[in-house]
Chains A and B, each alone.
Chain A
Amino acid sequence: MRTTITTFLALTAGAVLGVMASPAPARADTIKIAHSTWVGYGPLYIARDKGIFKKNGVDVELIVVEDPKERFPTLMADKIDVIASTVDATLLYLKTPKDFQYVVAIDDSNGGDGIVANKDIKTVADLKGKQVAVNEGSVSEFYLNVLLAKAGLKESDLKPVNMTASDAGTAFVSKRVDAAVTWEPWLSRGKATDHGHLLVDSSSTPGLITDALIAKTSWVAAHPKDVEALVKSWNEAVGYYRDHADESIEIMAKGVGGWLKDPKEFKETLPGIKFYGAADNKAFFGTKQKPGPLHETVQAAIDIWSSHGKLQVKVTPDDLINYTFVNM
């Protein structure tokens, strides 16, 4: 019994000390990248399995962390070096304006996200006064707000019902709500019901729902060579996919796994997104003097989240966009 108690105390003390003293490693021996199960992140596995990371001199470990609510804390606590996430989500976690940076854009939603609605809702403006399932604080809410602003509406003009994107799809299919902001496979399922149709999808708003690789600004400053190699590897992996589509789909499906582990399923989901390769990234980021569409997307997210009172600091797009690496 004595030993058990002593061990317990030692473990507790160890855990506490561990929390207290976890400084950022000076040099990341293995770069840890966290992402969720999504087609857009597939080329990371091409870069890993085809030895592109290794060739460029970085050792990378890919880790699945599904929810951005958990992905960002892992980054903030230095448990993870780089995360893949949507551009808009990053803003919510800023405690100071220069906490994080986008170093490279990885994919753009091209119909993979959208809104399914009852057939009598013909335009976004018709959503007024309707029950709309949308995940509060997520990319879905950001997307909905951009569309509403274009139609001259605000979120408060609707009856938003908060739930995750896949629960929103479920709720729409079972007629619990009038419309749902969701993503594939729920867009197809919502469309296939008797009462529903696809109101709008992300192919009409390129550059808006975009994933990027995100790291702490301090980490980027301390590891410029690593970041350069990462960005280079990403662009090369996308190039490899474009040249060897079938082989790449096999690799990506196996790597990403989860509900996308079947190459057929992966291939069917692919048209919903577009990968950003080297040239796309140059155009999307632009330069500090002549910023590309990314600047506008970040500004839109800043405007929407600050009008919702969700930003903790005052920030401008240039606080977050690192133009260096994509233009190397």
Chain B
Amino acid sequence: MALLDAYTAPKKKIPRRAYLTVSTLVALFTLSFWCVLSYGELVRPDFLPTPMKVVWAGIAGARDGSLALNTAVSVGEIMSGFVLASLLAVPLGILMGSFAIVEAAIEPIANFMRYLPVSALIPLLILWVGIGIEEKVSVIFIGTFFQQLILVADVSRAVPHDWLDVSYTLGANRRTVVRRVLIPATMPGVMDSLRVTLGWAWTYLVVAELVAGNKGLGYFILNSMRGLFTDQIFLGIMVIGLLGLITDQLFKTLRNWLLPWAQNP
């Protein structure tokens, strides 16, 4: 009971071992729940594949090389769109959150754009951009850029005013304050925003590969929907989920490595 009490205190660390145990148990519970539903045939087999069927679909895909190819194509599209969006959104967002004049210029249009359903823009993207990889990258870009902009602007806005005042008091000029105080102070928050929006970029994958897709995980899932190949749909989802898990972990590591002064608690 005392243990439970110690583990349920808000904002208190728990031992690493307990942390990992809980994570593993929940993952195992989910897996066994899936096993019970599928092997127990509580859900019709063509509606819910068994874990082994998904593994077999994975092996088949690995054997003919299609899984690796689809994954590589999708990672390429996602990263191109995401990096492009980040390169523009981070500096713009920082400026937007700290300079009222930039905010006035960009915020209304960004707030307008970020509510638009990207799937509705596809016919326009075909007309203006084309049907090659540039169309897919554009979908990812539009889907992430405006969200990043708002998130980064909020991070930049949250940098305490006092820090800038102290710097001025210590004799720093405007330029130095921006370069040495404002930008470093936003970095941990920026990294977190990027981590979150990379996840969003993945959610646009199926939409991105609607047009002229013949490779990629989104195409693979769409194609498996015709004929309702649930094992392949699951495989596609699993691979995307795993990639998400990996990139998330990479981001956390990168953050601790680049910004050691702002370790995650």
Contacts and interface: CB of A to CB of B under 8 A. Distances in A.
Contacts of A162: 212-214, 219
Chain B interface size range: 20 to 34
B226 A167 contact: no
A20 B213 contact: no
Given A95-B46, A167-B210, A137 B223 contact: yes
Contact of A176 (B46, B130, B213): B130
Interface in A248-304: none
Interface string A89-111: 00011010000000000000000
A76 B126 contact: no
Contacts of B130: 176
A118 to B, nearest CB: 16
A176 B213 CA distance: 14
> Of residues B126, B127, B211, which shows the largest number of chain A Cβ atoms within 10 Å of its Cβ?
B126
> Of residues B123, B130, B219, which shows the largest number of chain A Cβ atoms within 10 Å of its Cβ?
B123
Contacts of A176: 126, 130-131
A121 interface: no
B178 to A, nearest CB: 43
A58 B122 CA distance: 41
Given A137-B223, A161-B131, A162-B219, A93 B210 contact: no
Contact of B228 (A73, A161, A163): A73
Interface in A54-109: 68-69, 72-73, 76-77, 92-93, 95
A203 interface: no
Contacts, number: 67
B24 to A, nearest CB: 21
Given A73-B228, A162-B213, A162-B214, A167 B122 contact: yes
A213 to B, nearest CB: 20
A310 B227 contact: yes
Interface string B200-228: 00000000001111100001001101111
B228 A170 contact: no
Contacts of A163: 131, 210-213
Interface string B177-217: 00000000000000000000000000000000011111000
A55 to B, nearest CB: 36
A58 to B, nearest CB: 27
Interface string B38-58: 000011001100000000000
Interface residues of A, number: 31
Nearest to A164: B210
B105 to A, nearest CB: 31
Contacts of B122: 167
Interface string A19-62: 11000000000000000000000000000000000000000000
Contacts of B131: 133, 161, 163, 171, 176-177
B226 A69 contact: yes
B79 interface: no
Main secondary structure, interface of A, reads mixed
Main secondary structure, interface of B, reads loop
B37 interface: yes
A166 interface: yes
Contacts of B47: 76-77
Nearest to A160: B214
A92 B131 CA distance: 27
Contacts of A137: 223, 226-227
B225 A69 contact: yes
B143 to A, nearest CB: 18
B45 to A, nearest CB: 9
Contacts of B222: 69
A60 B248 CA distance: 50
A188 interface: no
A167 B43 contact: no
B43 A136 contact: no
A219 to B, nearest CB: 15
B227 to A, nearest CB: 5
Nearest to B222: A69
Contacts of B227: 92-93, 137, 310, 312
A316 interface: no
A136 B225 CA distance: 12
7 contacts: A69-B222, A77-B47, A93-B227, A167-B126, A170-B127, A171-B131, A312-B227
Interface of B: 37, 42-43, 46-47, 122-123, 126-127, 130-131, 210-214, 219, 222-223, 225-228
A-B pairs, top 10 by smallest CB distance, nearest first, are A137-B226, A92-B227, A69-B225, A163-B211, A174-B127, A20-B42, A170-B126, A161-B212, A170-B123, A176-B131
Given A20-B43, A163-B131, 18 more contacts: A16-B37, A20-B37, A69-B226, A76-B47, A133-B131, A136-B214, A136-B223, A138-B226, A161-B214, A162-B212, A163-B211, A167-B211, A170-B126, A171-B131, A174-B126, A176-B126, A310-B226, A312-B227
